[in-house]
Amino acid sequence: MTNDHDYFTLENKIFQNKDLLQVSHLPDSDRIIGREEELTNLANAIQPAITGNTPNNVLVYGKTGTGKSLCSKFITNQAISRAAGNDVQVGVAYVDCLQESTETQAVQSIGHQLNDQNDTDISIPHAGLSTSEYYRRLWQIIDARFDAALVILDEVDKIESDDILMQLSRAVESGKLSSSTIGTIGISNKVRYKESLDERIKSSLCEREYVFPPYDATQIREILHSRSDAFEDDVLEDGVIPRVAALSAREHGDARKAIDILRFAGEIAEENGLEAVTGSCVEQAHEREETNRLAELISKSPSHAKLVLEAMALLAQQPDRNNDVVQTTEVFDLYKRLCDRDESSHLKLRRVRDILSELEFLSIIEQERKWAGKGKGNYMENQLVDDPEVILAACEKSN
Ligand SMILES: Nc1ncnc2c1ncn2[C@@H]1O[C@H](COP(=O)(O)OP(=O)(O)OP(=O)(O)O)[C@@H](O)[C@H]1O
């Protein structure tokens, strides 16, 4: 007997092309909204590369989701094709410095992306070479294959050693490259990043600097509208896009957050077998986005940060509290009990204080120093930015 029941339901009434809502999706130029000036500036800075000359090194700043990575990838791709029209070979490498945070990993990744072993006969093994050997091979590859290479260093502030910035920005003048040239585009969310750099690196890495401002609600709406063909016709209820735009513009205009909320809203409609994406899907999607974002932040924080947050959330949930402000010593006491529960040894109070200030830096909590009265000194009040339930769900998810 044959079992011809079809277990796959291919019918998908909500999404038509969900890929348009993935963060990795690179839209065409006509779908890049409100970044005309930024794209023009970037193009001017790297313009020399398309004739095989040395481009300016650029540093791009701006808050998350303001299109820094998108515009940098887009403009460097355009540089490749414009240069090809002049018979000039431009190569582009993209490094996510959060993932590839050591100097060796980053150089290796650049080498890997720019290489074609059939062409160069040079190999870039995953391990086993010294950092200087990886550099040597990288320079050889660039000289063999390109007139100019452009290297995008995303989240450049996460790189563990500034030496790579020095090597890349000085490769031409120090004679490492003999026939080619190289330019870098560093991207950072930290406005103070430049201040932390060595003077010599600063002057070569930051020949041009651009700040990407946050989007306003109208621009976010346009960004979402331009991707609404991710959905089947007529499944988005009228108020959905304005509501998502309003939610994302409330903190700062973060296009990544807006696109994530819209995608989650569609998934929630799909999971519930709805025929349309409704306002209530958006509310649930907003919560899911917050949980995911926090879970990601928490998973990147030191492991005890999660226990400290869990302690704060449990304290804030206590029924006899009239507000959710908690003192550091209370957090510390409950944190120690959670460590006992998990059979792990606890950190000292001083380290827990450090963790709390790191969490404040990440905008997961707010802190305020209070004066306890004469002879008693100061104490710190801590408060979660999000609801305790969202924090607990995020802690659970980041496991
Ligand atoms: N102007 C825009 N038009 C269309 N889509 C955009 C625009 N700006 C950003 N996006 C989309 O929003 C998402 C986030 O953008 P992007 O990754 O470029 O931001 P970012 O500033 O680099 O943020 P982060 O610092 O978090 O990496 C991407 O999916 C991107 O395609």
Which two structure tokens, joined as six digits, stand for 299?
Answer: 């998973």
Q: Which of 15, 63, 31 is nearest to 269 (CA)?
A: 15
Q: What is the CATH number of the domain that holds 248?
A: 1.10.8.60
| ipTM of the shown complex | 0.97
Asked whether residue 142 is domain-assigned, the answer is: yes
Rounded Cα–Cα distance for residues 188 and 1 (Å)? 62
Say if residue 204 is in the same domain as residue 235.
no
Which two structure tokens, joined as six digits, stand for 148?
Answer: 């100019």
Say if residue 164 is in the same domain as residue 61.
yes
Say if residue 204 is in the same domain as residue 220.
no
The ligand 1 atom nearest the CA atom of 26: 31
The whole-number pLDDT of residue 189 equals: 84
Asked whether residue 184 is domain-assigned, the answer is: yes
Asked whether residue 272 is domain-assigned, the answer is: yes
Q: Is 150 annotated as ligand-binding? A: no
What's the CA-to-centroid distance between 361 and ligand 1, angstroms? 22
Mean pLDDT of 224-248: 93
Number of DSSP helices (H) and strands (E) in the chain, helices first: 15, 8
Strand ranges inside the chain, DSSP E: 58-62, 90-96, 148-154, 181-188, 208-212, 326-327, 365-371, 378-384
Cβ-contact 310, 338 below 8 angstroms: yes
Say if residue 56 is in the same domain as residue 79.
yes
The whole-number pLDDT of residue 11 equals: 58
Say if residue 136 is in the same domain as residue 55.
yes
Say if residue 208 is in the same domain as residue 273.
no
Instruction: Point out which residues pair with 58 in neighbouring strands.
Output: 185, 208
Mean pLDDT of 254-270: 94
Q: Is 68 annotated as ligand-binding? A: yes
The whole-number pLDDT of residue 334 equals: 96
With a cut of 60, say whether residue 64 has pLDDT above it: yes
What's the CA-to-centroid distance between 67 and ligand 1, angstroms? 3
Say if residue 350 is in the same domain as residue 372.
yes
pLDDT confidence of 248, banded at 50, 70, 90?
Answer: confident
Asked whether residue 341 is domain-assigned, the answer is: yes
Asked whether residue 77 is domain-assigned, the answer is: yes
Say if residue 198 is in the same domain as residue 239.
no
47 lines ligand 1 (CB under 6 A): no
| 277-315 confidence digits (pLDDT tens) | 999 999 999 999 988 888 888 887 777 999 999 999 999
Give the Cβ contact number of residue 369 at 10 Å: 8
Q: What is the CATH number of the domain that holds 321?
A: 1.10.10.10
Phi, psi of 162 (to 5 degrees): -80, -5
| 102-122 confidence digits (pLDDT tens) | 999 999 999 999 999 999 999
66 lines ligand 1 (CB under 6 A): yes
Q: Is 18 annotated as ligand-binding? A: no
AA letter at 341: R
The ligand 1 atom nearest the CA atom of 219: 1
What's the CA-to-centroid distance between 261 and ligand 1, angstroms? 14
Say if residue 143 is in the same domain as residue 65.
yes
Which two structure tokens, joined as six digits, stand for 271?
Answer: 């999971």
With a cut of 80, say whether residue 323 has pLDDT above it: no
Cβ-contact 46, 80 below 8 angstroms: no
Say if residue 288 is in the same domain as residue 308.
no
Mean pLDDT of 167-178: 88
What's the CA-to-centroid distance between 214 and ligand 1, angstroms? 11
Which two structure tokens, joined as six digits, stand for 95?
Answer: 């490094």
73 lines ligand 1 (CB under 6 A): no
Q: Which of 256, 261, 297 to mutate to test the pocket of ligand 1 (most atoms within 8 A of CB)?
A: 256
What's the CA-to-centroid distance between 331 and ligand 1, angstroms? 37
CB within 8 A of 334, min separation 6: which ones?
311, 314, 315
Q: Is 62 annotated as ligand-binding? A: no
248 lines ligand 1 (CB under 6 A): no
| 333-347 confidence digits (pLDDT tens) | 999 999 999 999 999
Q: Is 227 annotated as ligand-binding? A: yes
Q: What is the CATH number of the domain that holds 67?
A: 3.40.50.300
Average pLDDT, the chain: 90
Q: What percentage of the chain has pLDDT greater than the value 70? A: 97
Domain-ending residue, one of 166, 195, 212: 212
Domain-ending residue, one of 298, 318, 342: 298
AA letter at 289: E
Say if residue 51 is in the same domain as residue 145.
yes
Asked whether residue 250 is domain-assigned, the answer is: yes
Say if residue 163 is in the same domain as residue 245.
no
Rounded Cα–Cα distance for residues 347 and 64 (Å)? 32
Q: Which of 36, 42, 69, 187 to mutate to test the pocket of ligand 1 (most atoms within 8 A of CB)?
A: 69
Rounded Cα–Cα distance for residues 211 and 253 (Å)? 14
Which residues form the domain of 282?
215-298
Report pTM. 0.81
Chain centre distance of CA 322: 37
- Who has greater pLDDT, 331 or 252? 331
Rounded Cα–Cα distance for residues 389 and 350 (Å)? 27
What's the CA-to-centroid distance between 155 and ligand 1, angstroms? 13
The whole-number pLDDT of residue 8 equals: 60
- Who has greater pLDDT, 276 or 362? 276
What's the CA-to-centroid distance between 66 and ligand 1, angstroms? 5
Domain-ending residue, one of 298, 330, 359: 298
The whole-number pLDDT of residue 9 equals: 58
Rg for the chain (alpha carbons), in Å? 25
Asked whether residue 30 is domain-assigned, the answer is: no
AA letter at 174: S
Asked whether residue 25 is domain-assigned, the answer is: no
With a cut of 80, say whether residue 388 has pLDDT above it: yes
Which two structure tokens, joined as six digits, stand for 343?
Answer: 């059979």
pLDDT confidence of 399, banded at 50, 70, 90?
Answer: confident
Mean pLDDT of 123-143: 95
The whole-number pLDDT of residue 362 equals: 76
Number of domains in the chain: 3
